[in-house]
Structure 1
Amino acid sequence: MGHQQTMTRAWRIAILLGAAAALAACEEGQGFDFLKKKDAGEEVAAVESAGAEAAGTEEREVEAPDVFQANEDGLWDGRPSLGGVWVAYPGVKDPERVVIRNLSNNKTVIGALFRRERDNPGPKLQLSSDAAQTLDMIAGQPTKMSVVALRTEAVPVAQPAISKPAGSESLPAPDSIEAQPLDPIDKAKAALDKTAKPAATAPAAAPAPKPAQVAAAPARKSSSLSKPFIQIGIFSVKANADNTATSLRGIGILPSVKQGSSQGKKFWRVVVGPSGSSSERATLLKKVKDLGFNDAYFVTN
């Protein structure tokens, strides 16, 4: 027993001497380098490094005149039409998203381009009632129009450069940390006695409330079709798109109203789908056309 007490005392003395040496080193400025202020030059270098990151990209709709472009008279015959904003032109192979301009008043709208089925006398460009009303066209009066196809492309976006902090070159030298005189033996002994005492048992934390049960959203149906959706129409007024969606729900079709924009102009697309197979998509298209949306067509999303 006496031997054990002697060994314990020897260990305590060794710990005290080691702590004293460490504290003495702090007094001489040899320890705790992490407390020193960072050099001003390092901060400026960090800011410059952040500003040197590569510029990102974003997707935008840009005009594609090589796909389709027509600059000629257009006509609205004055009759109401379904399908939202669209324009028809002879010889069009596939439906396209286009920007339609009234060159007489410079008003524009985003719509769909279809093939004109009947070649009636007069201007080749035939516009829907929604397109004509948005562009302030007069029924039965030919108007000079411009119709250009749109394509989505990745456009580089320059990131704003991060400038140096004002006055960074003339920053004063960082102040050094003053070492306060310590009594190494007393401080080390107090720290050793504190660690020897058992820590008070902290009260048990209250159990966290269980999160409310949230119903899982229905999983999106997968499809192997390249164009599993059917676009009903493009609308420049959201209320018209919502009304079209409501009429589709009345016959058991669940549509989606998707907002988009191009060159600062907002539009709303009404689409249904996705269909899991060609037969399912054909059946859905027949239902849509039976409701009067004869210009509906297949789209990717």
Structure 2
Amino acid sequence: MLDLAIIGGGPAGLTAGLYATRGGLKNVTMFEMGMPGGQITGSSEIENYPGQEKVVSGMDLMQTWPEQAMRFGLKHEMQQVLKVRKAGDNFEVELADGSKQEARAVLLATGSVPKKGGFKGEKEFFGRGISTCATCDGFFYKNKEVAVIGGGDSALEEAVYLSKICSKVYLVHRRDTYRAAPSTIEHMRACENIEEVTNVTVEEVIGDNMGVTGLIVKSKENDELRQLDVPGVFVFVGRDVLSDALKQDDGSYLCEVNEQTEVVVDLKMRTNVPGLYAAGDVRIEAAKQVVCAAADGATAAVDIIEYLG
């Protein structure tokens, strides 16, 4: 039996594994389908992680985390967790290969994924001109014009990143104000080749057999249509939390979640089910910052050690 099953291998899961094993737990396994690191590995620039003086990519930032976390005995299984159930005082973790493992405590650290924009042509051209990762795909549009859809920190940060590669970036947002931090907005507006296209709705992404050829937007003021002739569209309109592993056979959730299915936790990352914890972007009121996710993981692990006695 596992002392602790950690579901997810991003900053929260890795930090929890480090603290839990270093703190004395012997049987700790982290379930992560791919290589550990989490969504942050797709970020182009990280300049606000404490102690990291130079601006680095998310991939560079996370490069050494798995090795450090596993130094004290954390195990990594490349498995998808389908469901977590109660099994008496413990938990049953059902895996995609059909096997099941029992654990005394469970930490859900599955994070979140980009939301779809919901506009016409999005599904048809995803991966053929539509992307949710500027770091991954920005190079394909070197010296070309692209559009970024969104108004939060991620959208503006990726627009800035793309502005260094592309000849022009259209920043498309449905409002005339942004949800991003003031410093991020200032940084974006300092880029001369970013054009703000605000107070519009995205009507359609158009293209041909080769991929995207343009983006059509409609003004909210006068319904006027405008076509942006771009071969690349980057979508950053929010995220969906990955809490499905807690969904039970009857459609209910193992613990309390809110309307967005974010897991409700207290300040120690405890859910309303003893022994079940959640950390990082999957929990309520997450700041969606690497340092905060890491802190969540450490906080949870410290309490889990005490809980298991």
TM above 0.5, yes or no, is no
Larger Rg: 1
TM-score normalised over the length of structure 1: 0.17
* Length-normalised TM-score, structure 2: 0.17
